[in-house]
Amino acid sequence: MSRRQLERGAALRGMVSPEGIVPLDAGFPLDGSGPDSDCNVLHLDMDAFFASVERLRDPGIGDAPIIVGGTGPRGVVSSADYRARARGVHSAMPMTRALRLCPDAVVLPPDGRAYRAVSEAVMEVLRAVTPLVQPLSLDEAFLDVSGARRRLGGPVRIAAMIRERIRREQGLTCSVGVAATRFVAKLGSTHCKPDGLLLVPTAGVRAFLDPLPVGALPGVGDKTEQTLARMGVRTVGALARHDGDLLRMELGDKAGTRLAELARGVDDSPVAAESVDKSVGAEETFDTDVADPGTVRKELLRLSERVGRRLRASGLMGRTVSVKLRRGDFSTITRARTLPDATDVGREINAAARALYAESGLQGTPLRLVGVRVEGVVPAGGVHRQLALDEQETGWRDVERVMDRVAERFGPGAIQSAVLAKRDENDV
């Protein structure tokens, strides 16, 4: 986080009017009927991400401030925890200056691989809620949860669930802003950091925005802020009330119109996922190459159930099941099978995956990675499965949905297939 971002965050925390802002413990209905009824956008921001990961990796650091960055004579700060930030340390600061401000800090070089691994785990949590996830960096993302409300409840409840899962599974904290628009949600997460959850309901947007400095708005850099200051515009409220023609004359048509809309809380930019999901998959790299077919089949079952959960969480189904099998020498093969009907049931996915593994000719071959994927996915609401004559509905979909609800409440390890709990892998 840059010095300018830190200053804007401080301005938010110091100047925002509480009117119309609903904190985590506000006590309103969390089923979507309360003030979050149209607030489908979440902005999640991990708290002091790099430094927090480092503290988890080495508990011996204790309460010492942490600075992540280059340690050489020209090194700069990549990240600092809140203890160091309180002393004035911020990203892009020369390390020599940072250590003058915070001489007792523990300085660690960045470990991109470790941060990416944790980031991927966090994004997995988000994508289990909705496929509409727009990562902005390793430690922040937008979500559109409109499609998850029927299954999980109102946006604030979803945000609280996400925060709890990240805390439980990763040992890290995050801050989440909830609003009807992206930029207000992002300002909300900044306002409630660290470790906060803040709803800005539509009715309270103007009360939230008006006292902020214009520099808090996206797209307002130093030059634009100086231009607005010469016009006597220093707060978002003043910008919202300013003559639009004058703004466009000074800032240009596009920039002037855009900033005037933002100042009034108007923003129709959608949450744009990296790509439209046409498949849903999961894979696992073994610590050591695995040749035992029983172990491989057990992992295929675990991955199939994970894919089924993701499909159901996203409201999707698919007909084509594929497996990825990577040998110890990194050569990889894939095999696919198209089912008679689309499915989101892990048991059905696993049956196809096991068959594909059996037909691959790689049983007994050491494998370093296996993966399961369902392709050609479509919204589940548009799929109507036709039972054949005398065919009985198995009920496995209902069973797995019950398992979903248990996992949502108690964590993904709270319930699993009996086969996965067996010690004898030859029974798989």
5/216 Cα distance (integer angstroms): 9
- The answer to whether 140 is a known catalytic residue is yes
For residue 340, give every residue at least 6 positions away whose Cβ sits within 8 Å of its Cβ, in sequence order, or none: 319
Tell me: is residue 36 an annotated ligand-binding position. Answer: no
β-strands 140-144, 133-137: how paired? Answer: antiparallel
Nearest to 313 by CA among 393, 173, 412: 412
**What amino acid occupies position 412?**
P
How far apart CA 45 and CA 301 sit, in angstroms, is 33
The active-site residue, picked from 140, 305, 348, 400, is: 140
3-state SS, one letter per residue, for 59-111? HHHCCCCEEEECCCCCCEEEEECHHHHCCCCCCCCEHHHHHHHCCCCEEECCC
Nearest 10 degrees: CA dihedral of 179, 313, 153, 171? -70
Residue 52 tokens, joined: 């927090």
The Cβ of residue 402 has, within 10 Å, a number of other Cβ atoms equal to 11
CA distance 181 to 137: 19
**Does the annotation list 341 as a binding residue?**
no
Q: Is 345 helix (H, G, I), strand (E, B) or coil?
A: coil
| Residue 169: φ, ψ to 5° | -90, -30
Backbone angles phi, psi at 247, to 5 degrees: -60, -45
Which residue do the tokens 């008679």 mark?
Answer: 340
What's the CA gap between 93 and 78, in Å, rounded?
A: 8
179, β-bridge pairs: 41
Question: 4 and 93 in contact (C-beta within 8 Å)?
Answer: no
Ramachandran area for residue 47 (φ above 0: left; ψ -120 to 50: alpha; else beta): beta
8 A C-beta contact, residue 110 and residue 95: no
Active site residues: 140
Binding-site positions for Mg(2+) read 45, 139
Binding-site positions read 45, 139
